[in-house]
Chain A
Amino acid sequence: MKEIISPGQAAKMVRDGMSVMVGGFMVVGTPTAIVDAVVREGAKDLTLIVNDTGFPEQGVGKMVSADQLKKVIVSHIGTNKITGEKMNNKEIEVELVPQGTLAEQIRAGGSGLGGVLTPTGVGTVVQEGKRVINVDGQDYLLATPLRADVALLKAHKADRAGNLVFRRAARNFNPLMATAADLVIVEVEEVLEIGEIDPDEVVTPGIFVDYLVMGEVQQDG
């Protein structure tokens, strides 16, 4: 049985200097109740691994605005101009990664791989500092695995065993990040009893999940 904790209790597990993965794509599938609590608790010097930095007043954008981040590993910052300003002022280090490469780095981190070879970024600035490996005449970049101290995720439903079901485009990076962090905390809209989710419907097995947090209900279904 997974313990159900409050957003505040979850936020207290995020401590200064940690690396933190947060699910979501433009705040869809972002655990906003936990993120809001992390902003209230005020952990500093975090390294954030995330698809995008949301909007200035929404999602992980609030962590950017609250100066909680030392570094962001991210595919897109264009929807949050504050990230760009802090990058230009050298207040935040921003490492831009192609979205598919970021997904594979996290997948590799969670599945025991030493990395993944991708053709994406060959011949661009993304290649700088990367190992180029030629396989059967084609160049690939070595994308090394990524892991984090803690992953803050969002799912639609969980059962008390921590098995997760996602909804629509809110799935995105969440199932990948669930495999790649030492501590995995998942905000859900609904917690069901064990047996109420059919094993075939489970997207993320409960063994990856440490704690559940009750968030707001987005949508029925």
Chain B
Amino acid sequence: MDKQEKRNMIARRVAREFKDGDVVNLGIGMPTLVANFIDGDKKVILQSENGFLGVGPAPEPGQEDPDVVNAGGQIVSILAGGACFDSAVSFGIIRGGHVDATVLGALEVDEEGNLANWMIPGKLVPGMGGAMDLVVGAQKVIIATEHCNKKGEPKILRRCKLPLTATKEVDLIVTELAVIEVTLSGLLLREVAEDSSIEEVKEKTEAELIIPDEVGVLR
């Protein structure tokens, strides 16, 4: 699988987590791809934290509205039935538990569900933007990430080393190799990719994995 196929596979799997009627906030980058794979039979309302509900696809060329951008600055549309609001209402929606699920990337995630995804001291300090609020506030926090970093090192660790975005908030980790649920007793391996194996997932994961009797197939 090339990089794009991996990203699409992760996004497709994440999209299956949503229920009909869910309000969902998708982070920047790979999480944004998830919108392409949401089952048309499910009504999922996407929130953009810069101030609206009802995020729709990029408009046809010539129809772009400079006032309608998502939180990554990309021109999008607002679907019929959408709503606009200020930043206090937007983050009230987020912290108040009105967002059913958020999908974000990770630099590191660990056994306790701690997440680091906003800075690398001395190297990358973009600021947390809305990430800390989303991870604390959303009912379900789904991490969509490649299993290892660019150096091939595990991102799923016993303890995060980088500055945290939030503590004990992650619920599910979806990578190109596995689907892992964060439980009170640790990381539970739910699914393994068709072309991978439990052994490969264990080898590429620093954290301890709980292996149930039945492990599903990630496809």
Besides A75-B127, A100-B91, 19 other A-B contacts (C-beta < 8 A): A51-B87, A75-B128, A75-B130, A99-B87, A99-B130, A100-B90, A100-B92, A100-B95, A101-B133, A103-B91, A118-B95, A119-B136, A120-B132, A120-B133, A124-B165, A126-B128, A126-B132, A168-B84, A174-B86
Q: Is B49 an interface residue (CB 8 A)?
A: yes
Known A51-B87, A172-B86; contact A219-B165, beta-carbon cutoff 8 A: no
Known A98-B133, A104-B88, A124-B132; contact A168-B67, beta-carbon cutoff 8 A: yes
Contact stretch, chosen from A36-44, A76-84, A144-152, A207-215: A76-84
Chain B interface extent, by class: 35 or more
- Interfacial residues, chain B to chain A (CB-CB below 8 A): 48-52, 65-69, 71, 73, 78, 84-88, 90-92, 94-95, 125-133, 136-137, 163-167
Q: Is A4 an interface residue (CB 8 A)?
A: no
Contact across chains for B67 and A99 when beta carbons are under 8 A apart: no
Contact across chains for B91 and A77 when beta carbons are under 8 A apart: no
A-B contact pairs, 22 of them (CB 8 A): A26-B73, A51-B87, A52-B127, A75-B130, A98-B130, A98-B133, A100-B95, A120-B137, A121-B136, A124-B132, A125-B163, A126-B132, A167-B67, A167-B84, A168-B51, A169-B51, A169-B52, A169-B68, A172-B51, A172-B87, A219-B65, A219-B67
136-185 of chain A: CB within 8 A of chain B: 166-176
Q: Is A89 an interface residue (CB 8 A)?
A: no
Chain A interface extent, by class: 35 or more
A28 partner residues in chain B, CB cutoff 8 A: 50, 66-67, 69, 73
Contact across chains for A122 and B167 when beta carbons are under 8 A apart: yes
83-124 of chain A: CB within 8 A of chain B: 84, 87, 96, 98-104, 106-107, 118-124
Contact across chains for A52 and B78 when beta carbons are under 8 A apart: no
Bound CA span A219–B166, Å: 39
Bound CA span A124–B90, Å: 22
Q: Is A197 an interface residue (CB 8 A)?
A: no
What 5 pairs across the A-B complex have the smallest Cβ distances? A78-B126, A100-B91, A100-B133, A123-B167, A168-B67
Contact across chains for B86 and A173 when beta carbons are under 8 A apart: yes
Contact across chains for A100 and B94 when beta carbons are under 8 A apart: yes
